[in-house]
A and B are shown apart, each in its own frame.
Chain A
Amino acid sequence: MASVLATRHPEDTVHGQVGDATVPLRFSSLAEEYQVLRERAAVLDLGGHRLIEITGPAAVDFAQRILARDVEYLTSDRCMMSLVLDDSGQVVDQVIAFGREDGLLLESSCGAGSRLLDHLLAHAVEGAEIADRSADLTVIGLEGPYAWGVVGRLIDGELASLPFESVVEATWDDVDIVFARTGYTGEYGYQMIVPREASAGLWAGALEHAQAAGQEALELAMLEVRQPIPRHEATPGATVIEIGANWLVDITKDDFVGRAAVLEAFEAGSGRRTVGFTGCEGVPAPGTRVLAGGQDVGEVVHAVHSAGLGATLGLARVDPELAAAGLDLTVGGLGVTTLTSPYIVPKSWSIPII
């Protein structure tokens, strides 16, 4: 799946394959786009996020069984982030669920749409219609400490101060869009679900007030605030507890696919735990061994160079008795220190919307 906006991006845009999607990885440079995202406002082509609609009389019951969070009373003015699990408790995807008048709309994570759709179809029930809407809808995001200003100039300033995870029907240039206050990076974040035929215009309009940022900058900023990135963190066999994504599961909910396995993993207290680290030279590959006092205690899950820290930033999965900030460990033979989340304090936390 390629973004409908791909032909609108500059010729030197670097595209790459993320799961089933071809997405813009960077438009200029990672450092520049990261700075825009953390200091000003970035516009994001989220065309790699698939939109799947669930409608019909059994839609809510079906979604309630499929999603790990409670969506029974998810009204059309709300959205929420949730994990989708398989029967063994493994992460299928991390979605944003939008309440709709006639059911729900699920937005997959980047490149995970096919996997999510297959999972939904495999669990389909009578009375719940599942439809991939990606052929006629796409998603454009705004993220950054001044993203609220872009919303004001682009659509309506009142939308900028919507409560987190609020959703409204809005109009841009006589086009009906779904507008939501969301956010992946700890900064002010918004998403606009727009008809594909109008998306180029909205993208161009947003670019008059903000600068485009690609998937690399977005994922870096997500990591810095410990927002799970399923394609990196949901490694084969890892439980929700090991990933540390408990908050994307409503364990008090009576029943959902994967609940028994998650509860078993939680109660057993076994397995490893994920902790952030910085230090070392270069970027260690996933699987690089982590040592404590000379003993093998885990492995690197994902690491990057953090522009915000000016150093390597990574996640390691280690023995639970060592999953804590402030420890000096060794990764690939070089010293690292484990960190307290968030690893970067978003600028938006100290900037009011005016």
Chain B
Amino acid sequence: MDKNIEIKICMGTGGMAAGGKEVMAAFQQSLNEAGIKAAVSENCSVHQVGCRGFCARDVLVDVVINGEKTTYQYIKPDMVERIVKEHIVGGEAVQDWTVKEDYHTFHEKQIKVVLADCGEVDPEDIDSYISREGYEALKKVLSGMTPEKVISSIEASGLRGRGGAGFPTGVKWDFARRAPGDVKYIICNADEGDPGAFMDRSIIEGNPHAVIEGMIIGAYAIGAMQGYVYIRAEYPLAVERLKIALEQARQRGYLGKNILESGFDFDIKIKLGAGAFVCGEETALIASIEGKRGMPRPKPPFPAQKGLWGKPTVINNVETLANVPPIIRNGALWFARFGTEKSKGTKVFALTGKVKNTGLIEVPMGISLREIIYDIGGGIEGERKLKAVQTGGPSGGCIPAEYIDIPVDYESLARMGSIVGSGGMVVMDETDCMVNIAKYFLEFTQAESCGKCVPCRIGTKRLLEILSRITDGRGRPGDIDLLITLSEDVKAGSLCGLGQTAPNPVLSTIRYFRDEYEAHIYDKRCPAGVCKNLLTYTIIEEFCKGCTMCARVCPAGAIVGEKKQPHRIVQEICIKCGACFETCKFKAIKKG
């Protein structure tokens, strides 16, 4: 019985939260205990792998026997013994726990370039990356491509910045290459601040070497000898894996002096972000690396001319850099085959919110929202109605359900008043209030405004005040027009991208959901039933069985009544938390 057995356990942040470590320990223990290793094969190994995207099903485990892969979902440590016994020893997969059809439909329409190796390689083992063509692109570059050739390849591929703005990467590199000076820097922007986006975290957690390799190639192209990864401190696992990967790359001679005997020197340092959304903006990020308050400055000069410590600097996003090695390996034309005319390649999106299958997906640019939501996402949770899709985080907008057939690329989303942004995609259903969503994003941008320029600092504050009074039921006639005028002013007058895009969520929700704003202002009603001050909970007497469940969960003690008698909510005490509404089994509580 000489089998080649490989067990891969998902250990991204999602996998670990679901108990990935414990599952891995259980496998190791179970395999050792029964002397399985000796019994079935010497070639039996247990690996951790990064996120494969479908975190909602964690812990996901692949059991690969002689190349044949079986994937299990929702695995807990106490299930491991049976898998080992029946599948690994017995040869029969435990069908009750394997992934079903929907797991495969989730992956069917995806094309994985950046995420191809996430979920396959062990992120803490450089050999695992090397065995899948890792560092081949770097070898190709250093053994025969001039920096100019590298830049023209990236330009030809059509790769555009994946961090939000969509600036052509090759052009950016070319600017920095041409900028005069001997000292230049390359920075990887891993300060993934958009709420609702987590692809950069997953890429670094799942395949850190791809980012490092992309960075080395970029450094060679522009002529930099030092690089920085500016990464959020909120991502401890990604930081840890990046540290390990950098050390391994140094040991193998991919970083340091005279890389692969080419005479090219380059190394990378990690800089931990200290928690400020505005630091995703290039000039603010540079200020933060220099140890200052992360406040943006006017451009020009652009960082490619005058960046870190006044030297020419290129700043690329994590996903952008991870695209570089496959482009170099497979050629620019291979990459340009995917996508649309102006938006080439694939894009990773974080599909979250009210869809059935939440997770990280990678799709060709130009795919429709419908395919993403219904084919990959499996449709809306609880068979409710789709209302809107929020893309691009606080800088983006809400696209209403009637437009879900538009292609997802930089240009189309911009025409809709939204952006691709870093790739957050939050699906909302009829129970989500669009005014509340606009207010949510303004709360965010208002708090994160650095305060340097007046339009952003005070403009976002005033916008938030107006949105707050609308959701509180104190909206005034004329508020909608005031929001629009003020939004336009904030966009036009702000210094950096934060302020210039902060009003987008307001403008796009007014554009598509004006009636909802009007209902709040004129009828003092929240159609989605979200805004607390516009809500009352009442008990419908004829449905109430007097089971006392609602009275028991009510945190305010606002529900009174005798056992087996209809209960009543004392409105003066009710805090409108909705706990009763969710608990009642008899649908006896009315919200409205």
Same complex: no
